[in-house]
C-alpha cells in the first residue's frame, strides 16, 4: 500500500472525532507529522509514536544536562551557571516526559486503539503544559548567564 498523506489525515480526523484527539493540524505543528510514512490502518499508534519521538528527544537532552558525565563542552556554560530554579524545572520536565516515555514503552507490547488514543491525548496535554518551561530551559542553554560563564579561569577551573 503506497502512502497517501491525505488518506492518513482523513483517517486521523475520523479517529480524532471518535476519541476526542487533538486536531491533525495541531499535531502537524507540534510534532512534525509531515514526516509520517506509514499506512493509515494504524493511524493512532503511528501518531503516538511520532509524538513520543519528540518527547524522547527532549528527555534525552534533559538527561544529558542533568547527568553531565560526557556532556559536550558547548553546554558546559549552562550547566555551570544553572541555578536551583533551572534544576527544579529540568527535574519536573524530566519527570513528566519520563512518565510518558515509560507508558509508551509498555504500549509497544500491545494496546488497544482506545488506549493509544488516551495516551495521544495525555502526551499532547503534557507537551502543551510543559512547552513554555522547556522553551525557557532551552533559551538559557542557548544563552547561559554570561556573568558566570565568562569569568577568567585557568585550564582546570
Residues lower than pLDDT 70 in the chain: 1-3, 32-41, 146-157
141 vs 28, 38, 68, 154, CA distance in Å? Answer: 26, 35, 13, 23
pLDDT confidence of residue 88: 96
The CA dihedral of 65, 66, 68, 71, to the nearest 10 degrees, is -20
pLDDT confidence of residue 57: 96
Q: What is the largest CA-CA distance in the chain?
A: 62
pLDDT confidence of residue 149: 44
pLDDT confidence of residue 154: 38
Could you tell me how far CA 35 lies from the centroid of its own chain?
Answer: 16
- CB under 8 Å to 22, separation ≥6 — which residues? 16, 120, 121, 124
pLDDT confidence of residue 4: 74
Domains in the chain: boundaries? 5-147
Asked if residues 66 and 90 have their Cβ atoms less than 8 Å apart, the reply is: yes
pLDDT 10s digits, 110-136 = 888 899 999 999 999 999 999 999 999
pLDDT 10s digits, 64-77 = 999 988 889 999 99
Amino acid at each position: 500500500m503506497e502512502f497517501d498523506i491525505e488518506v492518513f489525515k482523513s483517517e486521523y480526523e475520523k479517529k480524532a472525532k471518535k476519541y476526542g484527539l487533538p486536531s491533525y493540524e495541531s499535531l502537524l505543528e507540534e510534532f512534525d507529522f509531515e514526516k509520517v510514512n506509514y499506512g493509515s490502518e494504524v493511524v493512532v499508534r503511528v501518531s503516538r509514536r511520532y509524538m513520543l519521538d519528540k518527547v524522547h528527544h527532549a528527555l534525552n537532552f534533559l538527561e544529558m544536562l542533568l547527568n553531565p558525565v560526557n556532556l559536550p563542552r558547548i553546554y558546559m556554560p549552562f550547566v555551570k551557571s544553572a541555578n536551583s530554579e533551572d534544576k527544579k524545572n529540568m527535574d519536573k520536565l524530566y519527570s513528566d516526559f519520563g512518565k510518558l516515555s515509560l507508558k509508551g514503552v509498555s504500549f509497544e507490547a500491545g494496546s488497544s486503539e482506545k488506549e493509544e488514543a488516551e495516551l495521544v491525548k495525555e502526551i499532547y496535554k503534557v507537551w502543551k503544559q510543559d512547552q513554555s518551561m522547556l522553551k525557557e530551559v532551552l533559551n538559557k542553554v542557548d544563552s547561559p548567564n554570561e556573568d558566570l560563564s565568562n569569568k577568567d579561569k585557568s585550564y582546570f577551573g
